[in-house]
Structure 1
Amino acid sequence: MSAAADDQTVIEDIIVTARRRAESAQSIPVAVTAIGGDKLEEMTTVRLSDIAALAPSIKVTSASGSANAPVIFIRGIGTITTAMYAEPSVGLYVDGVYMPRPSGNAFDLPDVERLEVLRGPQGTLFGRNTTGGAVLITTQTPRDEASGKVTFGYGTNNEVIVGGIIHTGEIGDSGFKAKIAGQIHNRDGWVESPNFNPSDWGGNEKGVNFNAALVGEIGNLRIDNRARYAKIDSFTSWEILGGTPAALAAYTSSAAANPAGPPFVVSGNKPRDFSYRDPRSTGNAEIEGYGNVLTLDYEFSEAASLKSITAYQVLDQDLSIFLGGSFVLGRVINPRVVGNPIEPVSVHVTTDNPGHQKQFSQEFQLAGDLGDFNYLGGLFIYDERVSETINTELGSVATTTPITTFIRVNRSVPYSQKTKSWAGFGQLSFQPQSLDDRLEISAGLRYTKDTKDEESRTIATTTTTTTTSHTAKDSWDNWGYAGSISYKFAPSIMAFGRIASSYRAGGFNNIAVVAAPYDPEKALSYEAGIKTDLFDRRVRFNATVYKTDYDDLQITQLVTTPNAAGGTTSTSFISNAAKAEYKGFELEGTALLGEHFQIDGNIGYIDPKYNSYNFVVLGVPTDVTAEANFAYVPTWTTHIGAAVNTGDTSAGKFTFRADYSQKSSTDLASVDRLSPTVRNFKSGKDKDLSARIIWTDIPVGDVKLTAQIYGENLTNNRFINFATDFSSLATVVFNRPRNYGIRISAEF
């Protein structure tokens, strides 16, 4: 949180749209953390994965297909998958438009005006798939005056960021103004792969972003059109955590028997930052997306304004994925070649994974003020088409005597899915002027109808080929509601209570056609909080306590089953845990201690519990409540930051800032019996110490020049970011090691 532009000794009051209207973040009965664009730039925030320390009860990890595809957990709820059929549990909105696919959110954020993190279910105003919360990103609006900015950054692993933004100001006397922004972001990897260039090592990135906006008014009609294009290539290197004794022995002996290939490398729970990359997966994961959103806002009067948001988005991806961690040469029962040849063996490699998604959405909102009441009513329509083909080669041990042999399973899963959804929603708030607007009572209601239609096939080849086909169609509907009451005991002290429900659509396991469909997930949350600005807005303290009950909680599982050739096949799919509850609290604070010193921080505590969890194990419904875990859910999240500045000097202004964040070590798998290796490991604590020196107002003519030197993960703390257990072997992705960089920007 930074100081307001007109007074450097008070805390900024950020305007948010958490209730679909412009309001102060401190005045609304919603647990929201608002972060301005200046703060994001100061913290060198590049993408969504960088926001985890800026708000309590948040963890951002990666999905299996791409480390750049962020998986956001809020209050312990998140969805780990890059599969296009799966629905997220945290809704992401960019410029008011719902973005449902993690891989479509892998792109950089080059020109963010503000970011809002709404914690807890947000099902009334933001609809389907917000059982964990919502993240709202608003890009910069074109400015009234012509201006521009260029940015250059360089850091560890040859990381280069070059970006720019141009505001035209008003174009003639048209009443319209425009903005063009772009950014290139390239980085070498840090997980060494022999025979590959560092630019293709694990952790590498090659990204480009472009967006444009045109905003203007014609009478009472405001027109806002925003377009964006982004592309990113990257590769995620996995390392072998461990495995069963039989599998470890088989891979080790096979590597020793075939010295022309690489040795068998096991990293354990400490990273080696080294992986022999399977030669069948040589390319990067490629993600490309573009879209347009047109917002029309017509104000009839203070009593009524009508808004239309029309959006079209396209996403293309081809994920080259190597989950195996490393490979060896081994003798293989090959479905294509007679004679048990020697060839690369790894537990899992996705040679090709093309996918395509397109969506159209239309939203209408009618809002206004009528005396002591303000209201919002709306209609939302959503139409999505996805198609994806996942081609994988799976290796499993066939026999270890007299010669170690492996079974190779070639599996191709093409599928398509159509989703149609519509919803009607409304909210009414009562704020009596007779009480000087201190009291507010709000109630909201939403009806949602979802329909899904899917076709899928699984073509699996061991020594023979089997094909399994599946078609399904189903629909679900839901009534969601929310209610809140707040009271301002003083202009800057407010207490509130809130109850809210939310709903996540059911669906089909398109890449595991033998798995049962899953039911909708429903959440009901109770929370109470206080928001304060004290000592003439020099101290801010917010606190929230909550309890959320989940019914049919959707859990992503990886289940290994025997195949026809005597090996095993691993498949990821979604199932329902019957009932769970999450309890916790959150604290956020900022203090300006004079003109030159600021301290800020947050604490989040999450205490989840399964009340019942039934799962089908080998065809038998089984109560697994006692052995079920909450994967990637940290009990504690903490952050503390401090900044001191010199004030204005003849050489400019210097700010020295340090931040430390920590998240508890977490479980890595949901059910112990399905994860024989991973169950014995924890992620390790996510600890990050960063520091930066920021030099602003550098006296260079009329150009506003800023320079920054920063270091992140200064203690070089390493932890497991994501893990997969294939029963025989388990593999993991570790976080990025210590890194440094510089940023220079010039505004004109």
Structure 2
Amino acid sequence: MKRFMKSALLAGAAMAAISSGAYAQDAVPQDDAASLDDVVVTARRRDEQLKDVPVAVSALSEERLEQTGAADITALQQQTPNATVQVARGSNSTLISFIRGVGQQDPLWGFEPGVGLYVDDVYVARPQGAVLDIYDVARIEVLRGPQGSLYGRNTVGGAIKYVTSKLSTDPSLTLRGTVGSYSQVDGMIAGSVPITDQLRIGGAIASYNRDGFGKNLNTGAEHYNKDVLGGRISVEYQPYDNAFFRLAYDRVEDNSNPRHGHREVAGVTAGSGIPGSVYDTRAGIGDTNEVTTEGVSLTAEINLSDIWTFKSITAYRSGDTNTVIDFDNTPQPTLDIPAIYGDHQFTQEFQFLFETDRIQGVAGLYYLNGTASGAFDTIAGALGIVIGTAGYVDTESVALFTDVNFDLTERLHLGIGARYTSDSKTGDVFRANYLTAARSPLLGGTPRATLGAARTDYTNSKSFDDFSPRVALSYDFSDAVTGYVSWSSGFKSGGFDMRGDAISTPQTVNGYNPETVDSYEAGLKGSLFDRRLSFSSAVFYNEYSDQQVTTQVPILNASGVATGIASFVDNVGSSTIYGAEFEGAAYLSDSLTANFAIGYLKAEFDEFNRFNLTTRLFENIADQVVLQNAPEWTGYFGLTWTGQVFGGGLAVTPSVSYRDDYSQFEFPNPILDQSAFSLVDLTVIWTDPSDRWTVGLYGRNLTDEEYRVGAYNFAGATFDNSLIGYYGPPRTFSASLQYKF
């Protein structure tokens, strides 16, 4: 099956390319065909045609997202080569992203993502509440590879840009309701009103509700349910033709139940058997989860002259989380984690954009000041203790950046970019053991003294500086096809391990250092066959250095009995990652369009140094580990048929996505790792002749594939052999009705 799916996707992509040539004589209007490669993106902080950008970029328009029935940002994983975009373990709205094998799975405060997320050019520093539902969106861009020069720190894997729609100059209103499987009931209202010729106000509010795919067999609560309310409001003011201002506010409230996961193997305590459904659990810690994120931003754009444009982006964001994770998934408190997180950030970015006949570019200044904090308990029932942990990380970051494109000739272009970043961090970590397996005083438990001295209690500060350059040379082989070669560097800041045990690992008080990625890339993009085939291709070779990896192991006494858990965040070493990507769209006829994406990835550790608690030395175990969330093959193939039915427009889109075997962690585990799988979807959308009413029918995961998107591994008798899996959605059907005014 695995070999068949690879062959089918490759054949599908080839068929699309070949067929577009075969249909070259069809009467496809040239204007329609041209729209395939006239996609405008802002990957280099300015509006450019996609084919002219020497960066591997996937751009999904609002229309494409609607055609494929994309519900939230995790749908990017199916259509983007070499990308992992998933809901985090134990959460409904925390985002985990990997691109080309580079990312960060740990959402604890103090750890930073390896793929940057931007909403209207505002950097979202924390992953909580970042599983953005798709509404009121103009497009989503996925930039693959390190984006250090323009997007800075923490984009070693790439960046995801969520671009919302600008307000209409005319009064507008959109109403949409959706019902579906598992009692799904969603509603969305969006609209805008011009107050004057210069002033507009608008917004959107959306509610998403669904029963759980499974059940907590211990408490009777819904499991894998959804209860989310989100909204945005914005004011746009354009007093003059050369000046534009936008004030925007957004808020998301997620009250969905926590995801406790599914036991993959049975334990020995009561209730530790394997539930029949992969969406069921027997967790005993409770079913309360609250996540709130909000932000406000002010964007100002002023055209100073025909050459210069000034842009300012000022933003403040905050978030609060109150959640629980049952690591053992039994009624007993074998390994339960109640937790609270809080964060806030202020960012300011100034950009000076310039454009002459032969030189285009941007230069700017970026500033971030933020705090991420929290507390959590590790309730270890078998040990009769709770490990209480609390702390914060203050971050102040300043960066200078520039990216300039020189037209050396009419066809040859040189792009040079650079960013200098200076980070200052202060970390405060407290960790202690408390007798009795109940909540610690840190989380409102019974006041009591620590069991012995605190395991960790320190405050430390560190600074990190980095220079991230980029060089790209591109050549226009024709007006429709461009090739490029590039070298770029990315940097993810260092920090402090919020779980660190200073008694077991004294070096934790020194924190960990930044990691970097050097990427060499060559690509070819554009259109062929009278623009009936639009494509983008790239090959890349990455050198990944000083990788930050989180591992957790039991602390053993002299008799080999577990007495606690030690956490390491180490710069374990380096790896080599290389691969290729090919994606695009083709007009096969005047009514049939194909979309395709193929990704190949080869990732191997060259060095992996792990601290040995017994010998107190680091050991290179590169031959025992793999890169997590790095499937060798990923693919997507979809066909969209459009035609006239009952006087209106009908679009039918069947699609299949493929994801090869991948490991959940650096240490492979045959019980938890996911084997290759495919997802089959079908979308049918009909729009009435007035273009106001739209009816949509959506079928997702039609073969009801069961596949893991996350896991926890706490094997051994102390934790009742807790190997836990988290699963993607089962087969679902939904129908929507939309009205636009």
- The alignment's TM-score, normalised by the length of structure 2, stands at 0.89
Task: Report the Cα offset of residue 138 of structure 1.
Answer: 0.7
1:158 to partner: Cα distance: 1.1
SS of 2:630's equivalent in the other structure is: coil
Q: Does 1:449 align with 2:422?
A: yes
Letter in 2 for 1:387: S
Q: Please tell me whether the aligned partners of residues 69 and 683 of structure 2 are also in contact (alpha carbons under 8 angstroms).
A: no
Shift of 1:469: 0.8
Instruction: Tell me if structure 1 keeps the 8 A contact 2:172–2:192.
Output: yes
What is the CA–CA distance in structure 2 between the aligned matches of 1:681 and 1:639, rounded to whole Å?
A: 25
- Counterpart contact for 1:632–1:668, Cα < 8 Å: yes
Two-structure CA RMSD over aligned residues (Å)? 2.2
Structure 1 partner of 2:100:
75
Q: Deviations over 1:523-557 (max 9, x none)?
A: 10000000021222211122100001011011222
In structure 1, the partner of 2:286 is: 281
CA contact (8 A) 1:383 1:419 kept: yes
Aligned to 2:4: none
Q: 1:208 aligns with which of 204, 212, 229?
A: 229
Structure 2 residue corresponding to 1:666, chosen from 662, 666, 682: 662
> 2: CA distance between counterparts of 1:223 and 1:61?
34
Q: Does the CA-based 8 Å contact 1:706-1:744 persist in structure 2?
A: yes
Instruction: Give the deviation of 1:44 after TM superposition.
Output: 2.1
Give the alignment partner of residue 266 of structure 1, picking from 250, 269, 274: 274
Question: Equivalent of 1:627, from 600, 610, 624?
Answer: 624
- Residue 428 of structure 1 corresponds to which residue in structure 2? 404
SS at match of 2:227: strand
Using a 3 Å threshold, how does the CA distance of structure 1 residues 703 and 599 change in structure 2: closer, same or farther?
closer
Partner Cα distance (2:303, 2:191) in 1: 29
Alignment check: 8 A CA contact 2:672 2:724 kept: no
Q: Whole-Å Cα distance in 1 between the matches of residues 468 and 42 of structure 2? A: 20
| Equivalent residue, structure 1, for 2:323 | 319
Look up the match of 2:526. Answer: 532
| Structure 1 residues 648 and 6: alpha-carbon distance in aligned structure 2, compared to 1, 3 A threshold | farther
1:16-165 residue pairs with structure 2 within 5 A? 16-165=41-190
- In structure 2, relative to structure 1, the CA distance for the partners of 1:505 and 1:562 (3 Å cut) is same
Give per-residue Cα distances to partners, 1:495-518, cap 9 Å, x unaligned. 001100010001110122425221
Kindly indicate whether residue 227 of structure 2 is the aligned counterpart of residue 232 of structure 1: no
> Whole-Å Cα distance in 2 between the matches of residues 428 and 225 of structure 1?
29
More divergent stretch after superposition (86-95 vs 68-77): 68-77
Q: Is the 8 A contact 1:538 1:591 kept in 2?
A: yes
Query: What is the deviation of 1:28?
Result: 1.0
The CA distance in 1 between the partners of 2:342 and 2:213, in whole Å, is: 30
Asked if the contact 1:161–1:183 (Cα under 8 Å) also holds between the matched residues in 2, the reply is yes
Question: Does residue 304 of structure 2 align to residue 300 of structure 1?
Answer: yes
2:443 equivalent to 1:470: no
Distance, in Å, in 2 between the alignment partners of 1:503 and 1:300 is: 33
Task: Find the counterpart in structure 2 of residue 707 from structure 1.
Answer: 695
- Decide which moves more: 476-485 or 74-83: 74-83
1:11 partner SS: coil
Question: CA, structure 1 residues 458+357, in 2 after alignment: closer, same or farther (shift >3 Å)?
Answer: same
Residue pair 1:668, 1:679 contacting (<8 A) in 2 also: no
| d(CA) in 2 for partners of 1:572, 1:134 | 28
Q: CA deviation at 1:571?
A: 4.8
Alpha-carbon deviation of 1:459? 2.2
Cα distance change of structure 1 residues 323 and 558 upon mapping to structure 2, 3 Å threshold:
same
| Contact 1:9–1:592 (8 Å) recurs in 2 | no
How far, CA to CA, are the matches of 1:415 and 1:563 in structure 2? 27
Between the two proteins, what is the percent identity of the paired residues?
Answer: 27
Partner of 2:439: none
1:680-699 to structure 2, matched below 5 A, reads 681-696=672-687, 698-699=688-689
C-alpha separation in 2, matches of 1:6 and 1:460:
69
Supply the AA of the counterpart residue of 1:577. Answer: V
Which residue of structure 1 lines up, in the alignment, with residue 191 of structure 2?
166
Name the counterpart of 1:398. none
1:620 positional shift: 2.2
What amino acid sits opposite 2:727 in the alignment? F
Give 1:738's aligned residue.
731
Q: Secondary structure at the match of 2:223?
A: coil
The aligned amino acid for 1:277 is A
Q: Deviations over 1:408-447 (max 9, x none)?
A: 3212211011000000011221114xx43x2210101110
Distance between the aligned counterparts of 1:651 and 1:192, measured in 2? 45
Higher relative contact order (CA 8 A, sep 6+): 2
Please tell me whether the aligned partners of residues 130 and 502 of structure 1 are also in contact (alpha carbons under 8 angstroms). Answer: yes
| Structure 2: distance between partners of 1:522 and 1:636 | 24
Question: In structure 2, what is the equivalent of residue 461 of structure 1?
Answer: 434
Q: Residues 440-493 of structure 1, C-alpha deviation per residue, up to 9 Å, x if partnerless?
A: 101011100011101111121246714231211101100110000111111001
Contact map agreement 1:457 1:513 (CA 8 A) in 2: no
Quote the Cα distance in structure 1 between the aligned partners of 2:541 and 2:498.
33
Separation of aligned partners in 1, 2:435 and 2:283 = 23
Q: Which amino acid aligns with 2:202?
A: K
**How many pairs were matched up?**
684
Equivalent position of 1:582 in the other structure: 577
Candidates 475, 479, 482, aligned match of 1:487: 475
CA separation of 1:293 and 1:448: change in aligned 2, threshold 3 A: same
Distance 2:244 2:30 in 1: 26
Aligned residue for 2:51, secondary structure, equals: helix
Counterpart among 375, 386, 410 of residue 361 in structure 2: 375
- Distance in 1, matches of 2:568 and 2:88, equals 14
Alpha-carbon distance in 2 for matches of 1:612, 1:291: 41
Aligned to 2:10: none
Query: 1:400 corresponds to which residue?
Result: none
Distance of 1:607 and 1:703 partners within structure 2: 46
> Is the 8 Å Cα contact of residues 291 and 319 (structure 2) preserved in structure 1?
yes
Q: 5+ residue gaps in structure 2?
A: 1-15, 17-27, 437-449
Partner of 1:553: 547
Change (3 A) 1:685 1:325: farther
Structure 2 match to 1:223? 245
Secondary structure at the counterpart of residue 52 of structure 1: helix
- The counterpart of 1:607, out of the listed 588, 595, 602, is 602
